[in-house]
A and B are shown apart, each in its own frame.
Chain A
């Protein structure tokens, strides 16, 4: 049995002592197992408790011991015998109803009323265990420092949205999107450049075989990007713990940027190398800005 706090034991002992008319210390010692249990105050014979259909019962004594009103005990006894199909045990101290009387005559002579536990059908309550508070209330999670999304985050997002809208509207008010001559299949401009975000790849085409520059490098690049979380098994997010990963990504980031800028501004007719400040800029995406 779990170790119970002294205060609980004491409360339990006090309650029992009051009910049984004994001293608190007596009961406490009995609960703790330090003294042999004393017999409950009503004289009880050493006969076993009557099973259903067995000997008679002294309902008055039971009512006194358990504090259950006698009519309830009677009702429960009748209900049980009806449910079990067994005859009603004889009751001491009361004139049995007619139906019960016949059962009593059929049964052997009833022993004196006696029991050592609660009679069937009577519920008593006892303390099963004490659950300590920590086990229920502990969450196992550290409290986090959080702020309300409204107004703290939403205000920032709204300002960012307005700033972007203002920037884009102003840019669009002053700089027109390019529109060259009608598409002509027979007249390829020199140089022909892809959209700027593919110019890094087009730049690679100047160095490598088309299958390498156009398919293998971007294909493996995208696959490597997508699989980063499954390749990088380092659980730390601290920059000092991830020097290799950060270096590698920075090489990729700078490399892609340099190739794109190079393809955009340093390639002229025939996709040959030019200095933009000497030969001019051959980058139609920014045509209207440059003009």
Chain B
């Protein structure tokens, strides 16, 4: 180094590289004007608007929300947490798909291997399972919160219906995932659950047949529910979620104040 002080020189060089990077064309092409990540950003009302407006976030959030809506005690973040858990379950679920075969008896052995052979396998499986339970809770509590605020009243009626559909799909997703470990808990819990569907009047047998892919639960049910769990139900869920979030904004954002 020119000044003879090696450590100071390296520090300056790193700082110089940092500022050089933050002023580069590549950096500025990634972060749009107004982003706090840009070197030319300053805190101003206009730039605060740009953070949302100039960003993919604009699909989820408006530039401004009613003041009472940001009070944590109003929403308890339940809807947002449900969405976050859905994303988390998607990420952990994709991880698990790398190590899981929906056939008997491999499914069970793959789960054992997750606990013994796969790095972080047990942790990710735990997060997937507990996260699913918590998501059922947050979705249900979100529905209750919306009811107590009367937030289903015009013009939000239809979004409430979409929300009920999302609740049902959350339960279905959780229920289809319940069978996949292919252990005694999975098999018999699902047996009890799908027996209830068999009580459907008139065409109960047909409902059971379509649900479990046969007269009773077999290894074929495993494949059927696996496809439902990782592809079919999430696909439909994402569509309804898009409608749900879009309608929240189009119907005037958060309801209230009371």
What is A's interface to B at a CB cutoff of 8 Å?
A: 144-154, 156-157, 160-161, 164-165, 168-169, 171-173, 175-185, 187-189, 192-198, 201-202, 205, 210-211, 214-215, 222, 225-226, 228-230, 232, 234-239, 242, 245-246, 249, 253, 284-285, 287
Kindly list chain A residues whose C-beta atoms are within 8 Å of the C-beta of B24: none
Kindly list chain A residues whose C-beta atoms are within 8 Å of the C-beta of B9: none
Indicate whether B49 reaches chain A with its CB closer than 8 angstroms: yes
Contact present for A171 and B130 (CB under 8 Å):
yes
Q: Which of A154, A172, A192, A197 contacts B61 (CB 8 A)?
A: A154
Indicate whether B45 reaches chain A with its CB closer than 8 angstroms: yes
Q: Which of A150, A175, A236, A245 contacts B48 (CB 8 A)?
A: A150
A210→B200 CA distance, assembly (Å): 9
Contacts A172-B126, A249-B148 given; does A194 touch B189 at CB 8 Å: yes
Indicate whether B37 reaches chain A with its CB closer than 8 angstroms: no
A177→B156 CA distance, assembly (Å): 38
Of B51, B62, B130, chain A has the most CB atoms within 10 Å of the CB of B130
Which of the segments B13-21, B80-88, B229-237, B240-248 contacts the partner chain? Answer: B80-88
Indicate whether B206 reaches chain A with its CB closer than 8 angstroms: no
A197→B157 CA distance, assembly (Å): 26
Contact present for A229 and B81 (CB under 8 Å):
no
A145→B253 CA distance, assembly (Å): 13
Q: Which of A171, A178, A195 contacts B174 (CB 8 A)?
A: A195
Contact present for A192 and B191 (CB under 8 Å):
yes
**Closest Cβ–Cβ distance, residue B135 to chain A (whole Å):** 10
**Closest Cβ–Cβ distance, residue B173 to chain A (whole Å):** 11
Contact present for A161 and B84 (CB under 8 Å):
yes
Indicate whether B150 reaches chain A with its CB closer than 8 angstroms: yes
A140→B132 CA distance, assembly (Å): 46
A238→B148 CA distance, assembly (Å): 9
